[in-house]
Structure 1
Amino acid sequence: GPVTVELYRRWDSEGRLQTRIAVYLSDGEPVEWWAAEGDASTPATDRLRVVGVKLFADGALGSRGAALLEPYSDDPDNRGLLVTDPDTLAAHAIRALELGLQPAIHAIGDRGNRVALEAIERGRLDGDGPPSRIEHAQVIALDDIPRFAELDVIASVQPTHATSDMYWAEDRVGPERIEGAYAWRRLREAGVELACGSDFPVEKANPFHGLYAAVTRQDREGWPEGGWRPEERMTREEAMACFTRDAAAAAGMADEVGSLSVGKRADFLILDRDPMAAPTEEIWTIRVLRTVIGGETVYEEAAR
């Protein structure tokens, strides 16, 4: 909201903002504040910009609050819940697009994802705007997977959700719906753009935990052998791009950051090992020795 954005702005003006922040406003009052004065009082800078609006379609799978098209396999009287009425969700998405802001819709269940796609489609009919994104995109009806690409919707996924949920996910949704759950390979093959993140503080912020989960679909003890639903794994190259170049593109910053390229800002990490060559089981243990933002060292590991 406004208070947080203005705090970031002050830190930025004082030279205290040591990372880049792409802000997603809460819907409602913060969006109207931004429409009235936010862009003037808090212009985009090198390290701070408002890029979108966070919206919510449904709840979480673990609590059986994710909205499903059919009842939960382990709770047959429950289909989860929509936390925002579909018409209201569509209206918020349309308003975001009118302001040039990116709708980012939390959707976990297959009904939640369908409602989110429908809201985005209604918004697109009112005019062009930045590509929308669906946060989590965890359980998707197979028929809806191609719609992500058709509507230019980015699937913003968190690989550690798969490895946190794999112990009970099939119990929740059953053997048929699990085919469209945490389905990174299916999404890629359908031409869907993916972006990877952590969902901190729900999961650990460490990106190497996410990179490890993306390429192994195992927990950090190596279970299950061969990975959970290994056909949906990413390659190391895909996972690295998903956490860097593709994540930057998803926030509208593809021309500035996300890769070491001529003309882009000098944002990079120095690591203790090469994540593309380290033994697979060691990926999650990789340490950051130095963080550089815009050519400035903002973090350096203390001598060990």
Structure 2
Amino acid sequence: AQVIALDDLQRFAEIGVIAAMQPTHATSDMNMAEDRVGAERIKGAYAWRRLLDLGVVIAGGSDFPVELSNPFHGLYSAVSRKDHQGTPANGWYADQAMTRAEALRAFTIDAAYAAHQESRLGNLQPGYWADFIMIDRDFFSVPEDQIYKIKVLETWLAGRCIYEHTTN
């Protein structure tokens, strides 16, 4: 659901379509997307704000191996709509950006919902699998241009540490 006809956005909300989106596609495609889909269709491309404002669930992902698997690249793209050089300065169609909370939800709770795993994944609460990561800085307070540089210190699956970053 990267490029959606404007007339179909409301239908997504009405019939409960889950929009599977890969935010890094917007920033990877921004230099050629409008040439490929046209000035009118681009309005429905990567239209995260329009979808969220209609109440549509967006499941975020990376589309690895097409894009990097690191979720912080996708979170950065979702929030900034810029490439890693910080261009365009105000973000590409910046009015369609997600907030940090919305982006995190897309990659966690709503991705689990899209996979019909919302009763055990995507959230930290009693009875869930306790899949989570520890990171080197606070996603909500780090400067925007540092989001994609966040490093994973630990990875936990089902309550068990399976990865620890070492300084070696």
TM-score band (shorter)?
Answer: over 0.9
1:176 is aligned, of 30, 40, 43, to 40
- Cα distance, 1:301 vs structure 2: 1.1
Deviation string, structure 1 residues 62-92 (Cα, Å, up to 9, x no partner)? xxxxxxxxxxxxxxxxxxxxxxxxxxxxxxx
Letter in 2 for 1:177: R
Match of 1:158 in 2: 22
Computing the radius of gyration from Cα coordinates, the structure with the larger value is 1
Deviation string, structure 1 residues 9-38 (Cα, Å, up to 9, x no partner)? xxxxxxxxxxxxxxxxxxxxxxxxxxxxxx
Query: Does residue 223 in structure 1 map to residue 90 in structure 2?
Result: no
For 2:87 and 2:113, locate their aligned partners in 1 and report how far apart those are by CA, in whole Å: 33
- Cα distance, 1:191 vs structure 2: 2.0
After superposition, residues 214-253 of structure 1 pair within 5 angstroms as 214-253=78-117
Moved >6 Å (runs of 4+) = none
Match of 1:274 in 2: 138
For 2:2 and 2:123, locate their aligned partners in 1 and report how far apart those are by CA, in whole Å: 27
Deviation string, structure 1 residues 265-288 (Cα, Å, up to 9, x no partner)? 211101111111111110000000
After superposition, residues 39-58 of structure 1 pair within 5 angstroms as none
Letter in 1 for 2:147: I
Match of 2:156 in 1: 292
Letter in 2 for 1:294: A
- Cα distance, 1:262 vs structure 2: 2.3
For 1:259 and 1:139, locate their aligned partners in 2 and report how far apart those are by CA, in whole Å: 29
Deviation string, structure 1 residues 200-227 (Cα, Å, up to 9, x no partner)? 0000000000000000000001000110
Match of 1:258 in 2: 122
- Cα distance, 1:160 vs structure 2: 0.1
Letter in 1 for 2:29: D
Count of residues in Structure 1 that have an aligned counterpart in Structure 2: 168
- Cα distance, 1:140 vs structure 2: 1.1
SS in 2 for 1:175: coil
Unaligned stretches of 5+ residues in structure 1 = 1-136
For 1:254 and 1:178, locate their aligned partners in 2 and report how far apart those are by CA, in whole Å: 32
For 1:174 and 1:265, locate their aligned partners in 2 and report how far apart those are by CA, in whole Å: 44
TM normalised by structure 1 equals 0.54
For 1:173 and 1:255, locate their aligned partners in 2 and report how far apart those are by CA, in whole Å: 38
After superposition, residues 1-304 of structure 1 pair within 5 angstroms as 137-304=1-168
RMSD over aligned CA atoms reads 0.9
TM normalised by structure 2 equals 0.97
Unaligned stretches of 5+ residues in structure 2 = none
For 1:215 and 1:239, locate their aligned partners in 2 and report how far apart those are by CA, in whole Å: 7
